[in-house]
C-alpha cells in the first residue's frame, strides 16, 4: 500500500523528532504509525528500544500483524504495552523501591497482582459480610459483582486524576443536588467499601489495576532508577489512540516525550469512546504542545462519497444548527431505512438482507457487522439462529459480561459440578438440561428435558447411564443421541475414578476429549471454543493467585461458587482477535468501535432505543464528576446529563459512519424488544435526515 505525502512524513520523520498526528477515523493515521514501526527497524533502530503504547491490547493488532510479517527485518522484540501492563511490569521490577512509601506494610515480600476477576473475588470475601451486616446499598438493585466492579472503577478513576481514594465520596456528593439524600448514602457506603479494600490491599500487598498505576505513576516514575530504566530502554515511542487513555497516562507521557529520542503520537478526532472508563480527550490533546511537529490528515480512505455525505447529514442533525443547508451529496444512497411495526419483523428484515448479501451478492461475511446499543441474549440468540439456519457464518462479541451468562460456560460449570460430587454443589435439573443441550449436538430442549428426567437425580447430584433405557423413552430421545450422552457420562465416570484434577485441567480435558469432537456441541463452534478458552484461563489464574494467598481454600469449589454468583469476566484478547474472522459480527456499538476495524456494511438495529444516547447505569460512580476537568463543587444538573448524552451520541454515530465503506442499514421497530414504543434521539436524528433528503 502506497502512502500519501502526509503519511510518509509521519512514517519517515527524523529519528530525533516527536510528531503529533491527528485526524478523524479512517484517514490512515494508524497505517502511517505502522509504517513508522517498519521504518525504525529498517533504519537499524534496535527493536528492543521501541515501545508501542495503546489503551487496550486489541488496538495493537495492526502492529502485531506488521511484526509477524515474514519480510520484516530480523531483530529483537518490540514491546507492546497498555498503561496497565507497563505499570505491572514496573511494579514487578521495582517493588521494593516504592512499596513502603506507597503505604504497603510488607515491602520485603512480593506483591500479588490482581486481575478484575480476582479483585471481585477479594471484595466478595472482604466486603460481602460487611455489606450484609451493615445493610449497605439497600436501595441499589444490581448484582453484587456489579457493585464490586463499580467500587473498583471508583478506585481507577480516582487514580487517573490523582484524587486520594479517601475523598471519592466527597467529590461525588459535591455534584449532587441537596435533595438527593438516597444517593449520598450510596456514595458513603461505596466510600466505606473503598477504604476497607484499600486498607486490606496495603496490609497484604495486593495490587489491583488502580494500585499498579498509582505505584508506577505517582511513585516509581518520580524515582531516578526506574525512570532512567524506562527512558534508556525505550528510546522510540509509538502511541496510538491516545484519546482513549486516561489523564494519568497523559501525565506520564507529558514527561516522557521530553526525554525520548523520537515519538509518534496518534490522536483520533471526535472519539473518546472510553469516557466511562476514564478516557480524557482534553489531556490527550495537550500532548500536541509537547511534540515538535503536528501533522493533520483529513482525507478518509474508508468512507465512500455517499457515506461521507451521510456523515455530514448526521453531524448537522446532532449538532444543530447547521452552518448552511446541506445538499444530498448522495447520502440517500448510503442508507437503507426500514420501518417495522414489531421487533421480530426487524430481525427478519436484517437476517434476510444479510443472507442475500452473502449468498447472492458475494459479500464476504467479515465485511458485515450488526450493531445495537446493547446486545441482549434474546437479540443475539434470535439473529444468530436466523443466520445460521440460512448458512451464514456469524459470531458475537460481548465483553464485560458475567462468565455464567454464556451458555458454553454454564455447560462447563454444570459438568464440573457433576464431576466433583465431593464439593457438594449439586446442579438443579434446569442447569443439567441446558448443559446437555450445549454439550450434545442436535439435542433440542424437549429431548434434553426428557433425558435429564431419566438420567439425573437432583437429590444425589448424580448422572446415570442411558444404556438401560428402552422402549418409548429411548425412541423419543433416539438411540444416537442417547449414545452421545453415554460417551459423555462414561468420560465423567472415568475422570472421577482416575482422581480429580485442578479445575482448569478438567475444563481443558473435557473440551479437548469430548465437547470439541464431531457430534458434540462445541465442534466447529468458535464462539463456544473462545468461551471455553477464557474459562480455562480464568480458572488457572484464579488457582495460581488464591493458592498463594489462601492455601487452605478448596480452589476449584471456590471458583465455581464465585462464578455462579455473577463474576464479571476479564477482557481476553482472543475475543477481539476472533472478531477478524470471516463471519458476520454481532456486537454492542461501543465494542465494535474499540476494535477500530472498518467494514463495508453496517446494520444498526433498534435505532429507536434510547440506549444509543444513555450512559450505563452506574449508581456507585460518575464518569463525568470523577474527571480531571470537572469543577469540584459544581452540581451535575439535568442539562449536563442531556448535553453529555447528546455529545456521546454524536461521537458514537460519527465513529460508526467513519468506519463504514459502502452502506448503513437502519433497523427500526415501532415496538421494541420489551413491547414498548421506541422514540429515542437517534431515531429523531435519522428522521430529520430523511425529511431533509426527501425535500432535496
249 inside domain: yes
Q: Are residues 393 and 411 in the same domain?
A: no
97 inside domain: no
Nearest residue to 660 via CA among 349, 391, 373, 334: 334
Nearest residue to 538 via CA among 571, 510, 577, 561: 571
Q: Are residues 681 and 589 in the same domain?
A: yes
Q: Are residues 443 and 550 in the same domain?
A: yes
419 inside domain: yes
CA separation for the pair 465, 460 (Å, rounded): 15
Place of cell 505491572: 88
User: Which residues, at least 6 apart from 172, have a Cβ–Cβ distance to it below 8 Å?
Assistant: 187, 621, 622, 625, 626
674 inside domain: yes
Place of cell 478506585: 155
Q: What's 220's DSSP letter? A: G
Q: What's 520's DSSP letter? A: B
Q: Are residues 414 and 537 in the same domain?
A: yes
pLDDT of residue 333: 92
User: Is the distance from CB of 149 to CB of 194 less than 8 angstroms?
Assistant: no
Q: Are residues 392 and 416 in the same domain?
A: no
Q: Are residues 371 and 408 in the same domain?
A: no
Q: Are residues 561 and 412 in the same domain?
A: yes
Task: Count structural domains, the chain.
Answer: 4
CA separation for the pair 288, 22 (Å, rounded): 9
Domain that holds residue 441: 403-565
pLDDT of residue 400: 67
How confident is the model over 478-491, as pLDDT tens digits?
Answer: 999 999 999 999 99
Q: Are residues 555 and 440 in the same domain?
A: yes
Nearest residue to 155 via CA among 112, 190, 114: 190
Written as nine digits, the cell of 217 is: 505513576
CA separation for the pair 351, 340 (Å, rounded): 14
CA separation for the pair 284, 280 (Å, rounded): 7
Q: Are residues 446 and 470 in the same domain?
A: yes
Q: Are residues 507 and 544 in the same domain?
A: yes
CA separation for the pair 597, 272 (Å, rounded): 16
Q: Domain with 381 in it: what CATH number?
A: 3.40.50.300
Of the residues 565, 594, 615, the one at which a domain ends: 565
Q: Are residues 291 and 311 in the same domain?
A: no
Q: What is the pTM of this model?
A: 0.89
pLDDT of residue 572: 56
In the chain, which residues have pLDDT < 70?
A: 75, 321-328, 400, 569-581, 695-696
218 inside domain: no
Q: Are residues 425 and 393 in the same domain?
A: no
Amino acid at each position: 500500500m502506497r502512502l500519501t505525502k502526509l503519511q510518509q512524513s509521519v512514517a519517515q520523520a527524523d529519528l530525533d523528532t516527536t510528531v503529533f498526528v491527528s485526524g478523524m477515523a479512517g484517514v490512515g493515521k494508524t497505517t502511517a504509525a505502522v509504517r513508522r514501526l517498519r521504518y525504525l527497524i529498517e533504519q537499524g533502530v534496535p527493536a528492543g528500544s521501541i515501545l508501542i503504547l495503546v489503551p487496550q491490547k486489541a488496538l495493537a493488532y495492526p502492529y502485531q500483524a506488521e511484526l509477524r510479517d515474514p519480510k520484516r527485518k530480523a531483530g529483537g522484540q518490540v514491546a507492546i504495552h497498555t498503561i496497565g501492563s507497563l505499570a505491572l511490569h514496573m511494579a514487578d521490577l521495582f517493588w521494593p523501591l516504592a512499596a513502603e512509601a506507597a503505604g504497603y506494610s510488607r515491602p520485603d515480600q512480593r506483591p500479588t497482582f490482581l486481575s478484575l476477576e480476582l479483585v471481585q473475588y477479594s471484595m466478595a470475601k472482604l466486603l460481602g459480610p460487611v455489606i450484609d451486616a451493615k445493610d449497605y446499598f439497600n436501595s441499589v438493585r444490581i448484582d453484587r459483582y456489579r457493585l464490586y466492579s463499580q467500587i473498583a472503577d471508583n478506585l481507577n478513576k480516582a487514580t487517573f486524576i490523582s484524587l486520594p481514594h479517601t475523598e471519592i465520596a466527597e467529590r461525588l456528593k459535591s455534584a449532587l443536588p441537596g435533595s438527593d439524600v438516597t444517593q449520598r448514602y450510596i456514595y458513603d457506603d461505596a466510600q466505606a467499601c473503598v477504604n476497607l479494600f484499600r486498607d486490606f490491599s496495603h496490609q497484604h500487598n495486593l495490587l489491583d489495576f488502580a494500585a499498579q498505576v498509582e505505584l508506577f505513576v505517582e511513585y516509581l516514575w518520580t524515582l531516578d532508577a526506574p525512570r532512567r530504566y524506562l527512558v534508556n530502554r525505550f528510546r522510540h515511542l509509538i502511541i496510538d489512540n491516545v484519546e482513549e487513555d486516561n489523564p494519568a497516562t497523559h501525565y506520564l507521557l507529558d514527561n516522557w516525550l521530553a526525554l525520548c529520542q523520537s515519538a509518534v503520537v496518534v490522536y483520533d478526532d471526535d472519539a473518546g469512546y472510553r469516557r466511562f472508563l476514564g478516557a480524557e480527550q482534553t489531556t490527550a490533546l495537550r500532548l500536541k504542545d509537547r511534540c515538535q511537529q503536528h501533522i493533520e490528515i483529513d482525507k478518509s480512505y474508508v468512507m465512500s462519497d455517499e457515506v461521507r455525505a451521510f456523515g455530514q447529514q448526521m453531524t448537522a442533525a446532532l449538532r444543530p444548527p447547521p452552518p448552511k443547508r446541506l445538499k444530498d451529496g448522495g447520502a440517500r444512497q448510503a442508507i437503507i431505512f426500514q420501518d417495522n411495526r414489531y421487533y421480530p419483523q426487524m430481525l427478519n428484515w436484517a437476517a434476510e438482507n444479510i443472507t442475500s448479501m452473502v449468498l447472492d451478492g458475494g459479500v464476504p461475511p467479515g465485511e458485515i457487522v450488526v450493531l445495537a446499543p446493547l446486545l441482549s441474549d434474546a437479540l443475539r440468540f434470535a439473529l444468530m439462529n436466523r443466520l445460521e439456519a440460512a448458512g451464514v457464518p456469524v459470531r458475537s462479541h460481548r465483553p464485560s459480561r458475567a462468565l455464567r451468562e454464556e451458555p458454553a460456560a454454564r455447560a462447563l460449570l454444570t459438568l464440573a459440578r457433576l464431576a466433583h460430587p465431593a464439593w457438594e454443589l449439586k446442579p438443579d435439573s434446569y442447569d443439567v438440561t441446558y448443559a446437555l443441550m450445549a454439550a450434545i449436538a442436535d439435542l433440542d430442549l424437549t429431548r434434553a428435558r426428557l433425558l435429564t428426567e431419566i438420567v439425573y437425580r437432583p437429590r444425589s447430584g448424580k448422572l446415570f447411564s442411558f444404556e438401560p433405557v428402552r422402549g418409548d423413552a429411548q425412541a423419543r430421545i433416539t438411540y444416537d443421541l442417547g449414545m452421545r450422552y453415554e460417551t459423555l457420562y462414561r468420560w465423567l465416570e472415568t475422570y472421577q475414578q482416575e482422581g480429580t484434577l485442578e479445575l482448569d485441567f478438567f475444563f481443558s480435558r473435557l473440551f479437548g476429549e469430548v465437547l470439541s469432537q464431531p457430534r458434540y456441541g462445541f465442534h466447529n463452534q468458535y464462539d463456544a471454543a473462545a468461551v471455553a478458552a477464557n474459562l480455562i484461563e480464568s480458572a488457572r489464574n484464579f488457582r495460581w493467585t488464591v493458592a498463594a494467598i489462601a492455601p487452605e481454600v478448596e480452589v476449584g469449589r471456590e471458583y465455581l461458587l464465585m462464578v455462579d454468583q455473577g463474576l464479571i469476566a476479564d477482557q481476553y484478547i482472543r475475543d477481539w482477535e476472533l472478531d477478524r474472522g470471516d463471519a458476520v459480527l454481532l456486537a454492542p456499538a461501543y465494542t465494535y468501535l474499540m476494535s477500530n476495524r472498518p467494514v463495508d456494511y453496517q446494520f444498526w438495529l433498534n435505532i429507536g432505543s434510547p440506549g444509543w444516547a444513555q450512559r450505563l447505569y452506574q449508581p456507585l460512580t460518575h464518569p463525568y464528576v470523577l474527571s480531571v476537568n470537572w469543577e469540584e463543587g459544581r452540581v451535575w444538573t439535568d442539562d449536563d446529563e442531556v448535553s453529555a448524552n447528546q455529545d456521546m451520541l454524536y461521537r458514537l454515530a460519527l465513529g460508526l459512519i467513519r468506519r463504514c465503506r459502502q452502506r448503513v442499514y437502519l433497523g427500526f421497530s415501532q415496538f421494541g424488544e420489551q413491547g414498548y414504543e421506541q422514540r429515542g434521539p437517534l431515531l429523531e436524528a435519522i428522521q430529520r435526515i430523511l425529511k431533509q433528503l426527501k425535500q432535496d
